Each structure stands twice: as C-alpha cells, then as structure tokens.
Structure 1
Amino acid sequence: MKRKNMYILLLFVSLYANAQEMPIGVSNKFTFPIGSKFTIKLVPKDSVNFDYSVVEFEKYSQVINMEDLKKLFVENGEEDTISFYFCLGTRGDTEEEKKKNMQILLLFKNYSDWQLDYSTDIRREKDFEPTSNVGMFPGIIGIEMWPFVIYDIDIHQIKKHLK
C-alpha cells in the first residue's frame, strides 16, 4: 500500500510542480524538483573545483525503465556538460513487478573529461539532509536510487576526483 501511495504522490508532484526558472549566471549549488530533466555546464573555479550553470531544464513526468537507460542520453554531449534526470524509475516484466520496484532516481551522464565527486542534499519533508553518492565517471551513465519520496535535490561541491 505504501508503494502505491508513493507512486501516486510522486506522479502528482511531478505533474503539478512549479517549474524552476532557468537560473541566470553561475553558482556552486542549485535545487531541482522531482520530475526534472536538466543539463549543467561546468565552469572551473580553480584547478579542482567547479561552479556550474544550468543550460537546459524541463519537467519530466515519465517513469523510466531502469533496464534501458542508454536511450535517454546522447552518445556525445556538449563538452564539459552533465545531463540529468531526477524522476521515477522502475524495472520488471509485469505491472506488479514494476509497482514493487518503483524508486526515485537521479540518472546522469558526464560529458566532461574528468572523474568528478559531488555532494547532494535531498528534501524528504521539511528540511534538506545530505545523502551519499557514487561520483561521476567520464562518458558513463551513473545512477543514484532511493526507495522513499524525495521532493527536491541540491547538487553542489562538484570537484575533480583526487586519487
């Protein structure tokens, strides 16, 4: 029953959430609502750290099939950009399996030449809380998954991975 309520709530939020206006300028942190597709352009601050600008943003209310992610991203994106989907995803053959496997996803593809680390904070209810992440590898599709409702995500502190 909880998964069904989560699914209905997330569909409602993704369909009716107010669209964030395209940010002007460059920052080291932006907030994105669930049901978003966006691309950021990295802007070097120094030899390790990046700010970024949002170069594309749109609402995205489709549920992603987690078994077929390659079709979401172009092979070669614009240099020094990262494309994201922050939405619902599932996998399975039957509707029952798909409902059971429904999760919140942050999908991304890094079109830069750098392996990157970044920080994320998620808003589940009133306040934002930090969450762990996997890092970003050049040319690779990455995925973060959560089994609970998330309304917004902050992406910040993007930097080159130091070995």
Structure 2
Amino acid sequence: MKKLLLTLFFSIRIFASAQELPTEPAKGFAFPIGTKFTIKLHPTDSTNFDFSIIEFEPFQEIIDSWEKSKLFKEKGLDGTIEFYFCLGTHGKTEEEKQKNMKVLLVMKNRTKYALSYKSDIQTVEDGEFKETSNVGTFPNAQGTEIWPYMIQQIGLHDFAIMKQ
C-alpha cells in the first residue's frame, strides 16, 4: 500500500507541475526542497480533507531559523495553509551558519482547525519515500518541522481534524 501511495505522490507531482493552478483536490502531493506553496483544504467528510495546490513557486533562499515569522503576511486566504520547504540556519559567523544548517518545513495554518497529517520524506534523489513524524498544525498558528539531514522531497497527505 505504501509503495502505491508513493507512486501516486510522484505521479501527481509530475502531473501537477504540468497543469494550471489550482490543482484538482487530491489526498496528497509531493513537493521538492526549495519551494513555497499554498494548499486549500476540501472536506471529504466531517473530519477528513483532500487539498488542492493554489500557489507554487521556487524558493531558493536560506532563511534565518529564528526569524521565520517574517516569511508570512499578516493576512492570508482563509481555509489555506502556506508552506516553505527550504534550508534554514542561524549564527553570527559563516562557520556557525554552516554548522547549524537544517531542512525546514515552515507553515502558517490559516484554517480554523487543529489538523493532523502524514508526511513522507525522500532523502535520496529518486529514492523511496519514508514516513516521518510531525506535530500537526494548529489554527491560525505558525509551525516548523526540522531535519538535520538533506531531504529531496516531502509528501504531505491524509489531512484530518486532530483527535482531542
């Protein structure tokens, strides 16, 4: 089943990059490192969501790990989640910045829901996706996931209202 999902992610990613935005709602998509994207949730029942990609662009900047709030505008489109999947670091010297370099998934949840979701990462180019943990995302809040190693792509899927 997992290989089927991963194949689906890859296929949808290729298809999505060749089509106009917004994409058709789907259970999940994969995104390459160095991108900024916004998704819009579409309820499939009382607790689960598919999503469509409504904005997608390259983002090659290395951000300051401690100044992430500057990435997002104060106001945004309700019912969406904005993401930056990029490199981030902090430090005063170039040596400190190099030592502190991490892969970040920074998000701003502009929905009224606390959401759980599943995430899979691809650490080797053209390699298999492997499940990774995440803390979910909370209403009108910013969140960050951090990895100390390189990630080629991240697959996000199965968004649902968080169980209390």
Same fold (TM over 0.5): yes
Count of matched residue pairs:
145
How high is the sequence identity, in percent, across the aligned residues? 48
2:108 and 2:24 map into 1 onto residues whose CA distance is 22
What's the CA shift for 1:106? 0.4
Shift of 1:23: 6.1
User: Matched residues in 2 for 1:88 and 1:124: separation?
Assistant: 14
47-56 or 89-98, which deviates more: 89-98
CA drift of 1:122 comes to 0.2
Q: Counterparts in 2 of 1:3-82, with a 5 A limit?
A: 20-21=17-18, 22=21, 24-82=23-81
Residue of structure 1 in register with 2:115 after alignment? 116
1:105-158 superposed Cα distances (whole Å, 9 cap, x missing partner): 000000000000000000012100000001101111100011111100000000
Provide structure 1 residue ranges, at least 5 long, that are not aligned to the other structure. 1-18
Measured in 2, the distance between the counterparts of 1:119 and 1:134 equals 10
What secondary structure is seen at the aligned counterpart in 2 of 1:97?
Answer: helix
Match of 1:158 in 2: 159
Secondary structure, aligned partner of 1:118: strand
8 Å contact kept, 2:23–2:54: no
Query: Normalized against structure 2, the TM-score is what?
Result: 0.85
Partners of 2:49 and 2:122 in 1: how far apart?
23
Matched with 1:14 is none
Residue in 2 aligned with 1:83? 82
Amino acid of the structure 1 residue aligned with 2:56: F
Alpha-carbon distance in 2 for matches of 1:71, 1:149? 24
- SS at 2:96 equivalent: helix
C-alpha distance in 1, partners of 2:22/2:103? 24
Question: How far apart, in 1, do the equivalents of 2:106 and 2:56 lie?
Answer: 14
Q: Which residue number in structure 1 is paired with residue 139 of structure 2?
A: 138
Instruction: After TM superposition, give the deviation of residue 95 of structure 1 in Å.
Output: 1.0
Write the distance in 1 (CA, Å) between the matches of 2:40 and 2:65. 25
Deviation of the 1:59 alpha carbon: 0.4
Contact 2:115–2:136, Cα closer than 8 Å, also in 1: yes
> What amino acid does structure 2 have at the position aligned with 1:38?
F
Give the counterpart letter for 1:137 in structure 2.
F
Separation of aligned partners in 1, 2:29 and 2:89: 26
CA contact (8 A) 1:20 1:32 kept: no
